[in-house]
Amino acid sequence: MRIDQHWLDKASRVSSPNFDDRPTPEDISLIIIHCISLPPGEFGNTCIDQLFCNQLNPGDHPYFKGIAGLTVSSHLLIKRTGEIVQYVPFDKRAWHAGQSCYEGRERCNDFSIGIELEGTETVPYTEPQYVELATAVNALLKSYPGLSADRIAGHSDVAPGRKNDPGESFDWQKFYCHLGK
């Protein structure tokens, strides 16, 4: 897997309108791991694509009424099958971390890459997700000199008290083993 013009060559592309320019384009120095499922706890549908592309129909599920107007995105989504979807090129600022702070630095979207795992904080992630996450992260580490294996955080780490993902179901040791660290 490699990155070509800020796109992961193995990922399918679903272009989200929810991004803008980074304040300092060369400052890509953090990877944030998230989890998402829509509706909550349901997997294998197109609802995440719809959310990230502002196409979520609030009438399709009661939960959607509260989130249909959000303008959010992530750089990558890794589905439970291991399939990778890219929504935003890595040199652009995806809107994934919200109000956040890492090592005293606020506005993590400015300098981070967001990776969503299809899942919940309490349901174990799949082996294909760990394999593809590690493969994608290794490609990012090779392509962006500001990144390192020491600068990978969960959403809960950059927004404590507000976010819990990727949650207790994410096995950090397993991830780092797949990463080769």
Candidates 26, 42, 116, 168; catalytic one? 116
Contacting residues for 1 by C-beta, under 8 A, at least 6 apart: 8, 9, 10, 135, 136, 138, 139
Catalytic status, residue 106 = no
User: What's the Cα-to-Cα distance from 134 to each of 41, 62, 140, 157, rounded to whole Å?
Assistant: 24, 35, 10, 19
What are the residue numbers of the active site?
Answer: 116
